[in-house]
Structure 1
Amino acid sequence: MVLSSFATERDDVPVWAWSYGGKGRVPVGALALFAGRPGAGKSTAGRWFAAAASNGVLEGCWYGKPVNTAYIAAEESAKYVVKPGLRAAGADLRRVFMPKVQIIGEQVRFLSSHDMEELAAQLKQHEVKLVVVDPLMSTIGSKTDINRNNEVRSLIEPWSKLAEDIDGVVLGIAHLNKSGNGDVVAGINGSSAFGEVARSVFGFAKDPDSDDGDRILSQEKNSIGEEDLALTYRIESATVTTDTGKSADVGRFVIVGTSDRTVGDVLRDNGRTESDSRSANDEVDEWLRDLLANNPVQSTDVYKAAVGAGFSADKAKRAKARIKATSYKDGDLWFWKKAVG
């Protein structure tokens, strides 16, 4: 045991692999997590992140400096999903590597408890700075008791150590449980160990109030920075040409703007009981009936009134369908009117 004075310790400021809005989001030398329910697009976002790093267009310390990346995919086909997805994201495929573990010529799943040392050596040899692990849970082994925090933590911490060793980032893709309390960090894979070890955690969710397929990304943990990031994104279709010369439509992650809600907000809303949801619908439906009771109202005025009453424009649109209100165009303007009869 040695007592070391802080006067002899060397301190510094973080170096950010990803910055957004002028603020650091993912630090170098750390484990970061993209977490969400199935279908939220977190894996597609992981491929976007890898592609941007491989091209040197990721805002942060690697901007203008393309870096080699590694992509470990356990649940998705490299042939039919991962490589076409990287193509759609615009990745420099020469800089994206796929680690493979083989035993007697047969490919097996990567396990953090067995294969980390050899992986680290390969990554350093190829100067890899970003590792995407999709999903992170697949690397801790099926015999691990997810309810034992210390057991899970011991298998996640090597990824954090790996990020330090390569002076880069390990980005883990993770699933969220069905808890409705809105705590993204605690809800990852049912074990708090994931959120505890990671330095940056981002939540991903479909926006139930959007009629345009919008989704929400928000930073739910940033241990050395701010957690004020909430963005709207979409999974758009992009056509790619595969090595066989055939074309395929593949999802591509696209940020479209900021969001006034976080993923935690969405999860809490989704966790409400059905009776709560019906009550909320009744409230906005009654408000819209009153608004349209006497005269048609210009659609832009409906949206403004909805916001003023505490409802979103999308909630107003859904209420319109429920009360069977209609819309019509007069010149260049659209109007809403109450249902006839």
Structure 2
Amino acid sequence: MSRKERPAMTNPKEKTREELQAEIEDGKKKIRQFENREKMLRQKLSKEERRTRSHRLIVRGAVFESIVPEAKNMTDEEAAHHNAVFVGRDEDGVPRYAHQRGTAGNFRLDVKGSDKAFNFCYRGEGERLFVFEAPIDLLSFLCLFKKDWQKQSYLALGGVGDKALMCFLSDRPNIKTVYLCLDSDQAGNDACSRLVELMPEDLTVHRLIPLFKDWNEVQTRRNEITDGKYLREAVYGLKEPPQEETVEIIRMSEVDTQTVEWLWKPYIPFGKVTIVQGNPGEGKTTFALRLAVACSTGGTLPGMKPIQPFQVIYQTAEDGLGDTVKPRLIEAAADLDRVLVIDEAKRELTLSDERIEKAIIQNGARLIILDPIQAYMGDKADMNKANEVRPIFRRLAEVAERTGCAVILIGHLNKAAGGQSAYRGLGSIDFRAAARSVLLIGRVKREPNVRVIIHDKSSLAPEGKPVAFCLDPETGFEWIGEYDITADELLSGAGGNNATKTEQAEKLILDLLADGKEFASEDIEKAAADAGISARTVRAAKKNLDGRITSKRIGAAWYHALKK
């Protein structure tokens, strides 16, 4: 009926005072009922608002929104059903994913067009990422572990796929540690194993297993957990980044200062490797044997006190033990019981052979001589290749240092004429580099019986002066003393700058007898000895001066003077 068709109003019958009062009371009652109804509705709304706000407090700062009509990607029907929507955003904050979850029951559904690579997550500034199957598990975990949760990152996979995890890690290179918080069931365990294999090598991965099936169940049943332990198990180290090798460092402040002990100062130290080199037939082996004799018998070396006798190991690959080595040791009066040889009948010895160290220790040897070097390099090592020589010498040097034994290696010179002495050693220059002392032995060209030992390298003390010895066919081995010649002069055959010892002795005799003085032979030999000249050399010098001096015998002594 339209407003024009309404019937005309008639005046109502006048009501009594009592009727009007009754209507007023009835109106007041209805107002009270309405106010009560409004109050009840307000209370209900307040309760719902508190519930919704509670969810917001749990995820404050996270990408979570309760269902409201204005929410993006939601329909009126979703609002009517009062679902919760979990929104996943990219690094720029653009929504890329949405998941509907019923607040009651098991309803769940991804919104059409969602990209699971951008699942529900919270991006913190820390280096840790916690990974869950579902958003509700993520939120439940935060309810259980609230303290400082905003510092780290949290991600829901929307199942057990890897797409969201790989995308998150590629966008967040600051992540160093991943905690897999998937469900405590076979599917969750299998997914963890698979995800571990897919993650980058530089990550550390741990597994946090909830006490019940998932974290939401732990949250809803937490009143049952009296001890506050929400984990069934924590499995650490499912994956560890490759560990960078730690460089072992030695602080010089922690190194004990050691004093070098000398077999022959400054030429041959104990506990180090010394190389003795020279051309064939020029005295290397003779010197080595004489050294062995002095050590086995308690003999002396130039400038040193008598040696306390000790065991010597002498290995040679060039001379026979029975027909050459032993006869020469007997001739030099060696203590044969103290000169030892490692038996090579069953297995040839090499510089890397463990028998060297064992023999030194078991026999208390303080000197080992190996003659020549190349015979003990082994079949697999090329002595001309530094990379093969270096480790062999390093191990040998370690043996020398551990045992305190002097190691002497006899080596030949190469055939390169005119080169510096440092480059004349046979094989790699690393031979010389590894040795702490290098001695060069050579023949003096103008004195065929004289051999000179030149200290060609010294790492532990100033180089010693050249020292000579004589190999006289009649008198045998004899130390002569210091000799003024350089290594390069000795190798080139220049013969040195100063006169020979015999010439020095001749000059000494003439100086003593000058101005008509007369000297006894004993006094001349004493003066010569003080100058480092042997009595044998003095006798040779007097023989050369036979036409210039006179000799006469008075009692048991001989006296000499210049001829007038």
Common fold, TM-score beyond 0.5? yes
2:279 aligns with one of 33, 37, 40 = 37
**Equivalent in the alignment of 1:290:** none
The alignment of Structure 1 onto Structure 2 pairs a total of residues equal to 256
Q: Deviations over 1:150-196 (max 9, x none)?
A: 21222233332222232110111110112234533332113212111
- Does the 8 Å contact 1:140/1:156 carry over to 2? no
Evaluate the alpha carbon distance shift between residue 164 and residue 226 of structure 1 in structure 2; reply closer, same or farther with a 3 A threshold.
Answer: same
Write the letter of the residue equivalent to 2:487. Answer: V
Write the letter of the residue equivalent to 1:230. Answer: P
Evaluate the alpha carbon distance shift between residue 185 and residue 88 of structure 1 in structure 2; reply closer, same or farther with a 3 A threshold.
Answer: farther
Gaps of 5+ in 1: 240-251, 271-299, 305-328, 335-341
The alpha-carbon deviation at position 331 of structure 1 amounts to 8.2
Between the two proteins, what is the percent identity of the paired residues?
27
1:136 aligns with one of 351, 358, 373 = 373
- Does the 8 Å contact 2:393/2:434 carry over to 1? yes
**In structure 2, the residue corresponding to 1:190 is in which secondary structure?**
coil
1: CA distance, partners of 2:355 / 2:405: 17
Answer yes or no: is 1:205 the counterpart of 2:442: yes
1:258 aligns with one of 452, 460, 482 = 482
2: CA distance, partners of 1:189 / 1:112: 16
1:99 aligns with one of 318, 342, 362 = 342
Instruction: Decide which moves more: 29-38 or 178-187.
Output: 178-187
The alpha-carbon deviation at position 87 of structure 1 amounts to 1.8
2: CA distance, partners of 1:204 / 1:333: 36
**Equivalent in the alignment of 1:235:** 471
Write the letter of the residue equivalent to 1:332. Answer: G
The alpha-carbon deviation at position 61 of structure 1 amounts to 8.8
- TM-score, normalization by structure 2: 0.42
2: CA distance, partners of 1:70 / 1:120: 11
Evaluate the alpha carbon distance shift between residue 98 and residue 238 of structure 1 in structure 2; reply closer, same or farther with a 3 A threshold.
Answer: farther
2: CA distance, partners of 1:262 / 1:89: 29
**In structure 2, the residue corresponding to 1:146 is in which secondary structure?**
coil
- Does the 8 Å contact 2:315/2:370 carry over to 1? yes
**Equivalent in the alignment of 2:252:** 6
1:57 aligns with one of 299, 307, 313 = 299
**Equivalent in the alignment of 1:287:** none
Please give the root-mean-square deviation of Cα atoms over the aligned residues, in Å: 2.8
Evaluate the alpha carbon distance shift between residue 11 and residue 99 of structure 1 in structure 2; reply closer, same or farther with a 3 A threshold.
Answer: same
Q: Deviations over 1:254-273 (max 9, x none)?
A: 32122110332221347xxx
Write the letter of the residue equivalent to 2:547. Answer: D
Evaluate the alpha carbon distance shift between residue 258 and residue 331 of structure 1 in structure 2; reply closer, same or farther with a 3 A threshold.
Answer: closer
- Does the 8 Å contact 1:74/1:109 carry over to 2? no
**Equivalent in the alignment of 2:321:** 78
The alpha-carbon deviation at position 129 of structure 1 amounts to 1.0
Q: Which has the higher contact order (CA 8 A, sep 6+)?
A: 1
Structure with higher strand content: 1
TM alignment of 1:104-115, pairs within 5 A: 108-113=347-352
Write the letter of the residue equivalent to 1:165. Answer: R
**In structure 2, the residue corresponding to 1:44 is in which secondary structure?**
helix
Instruction: Decide which moves more: 157-166 or 93-102.
Output: 157-166
- TM-score, normalization by structure 1: 0.68
Answer yes or no: is 1:66 the counterpart of 2:309: yes
- Does the 8 Å contact 1:88/1:238 carry over to 2? no
2: CA distance, partners of 1:238 / 1:89: 14
The alpha-carbon deviation at position 2 of structure 1 amounts to 3.8
- Does the 8 Å contact 1:45/1:253 carry over to 2? no
Q: Deviations over 1:271-307 (max 9, x none)?
A: xxxxxxxxxxxxxxxxxxxxxxxxxxxxx89xx9xxx
2: CA distance, partners of 1:177 / 1:27: 26
2: CA distance, partners of 1:64 / 1:208: 32
2: CA distance, partners of 1:221 / 1:330: 39
2: CA distance, partners of 1:159 / 1:62: 28
Gaps of 5+ in 2: 1-246, 495-505, 511-543, 550-564
**Equivalent in the alignment of 1:280:** none
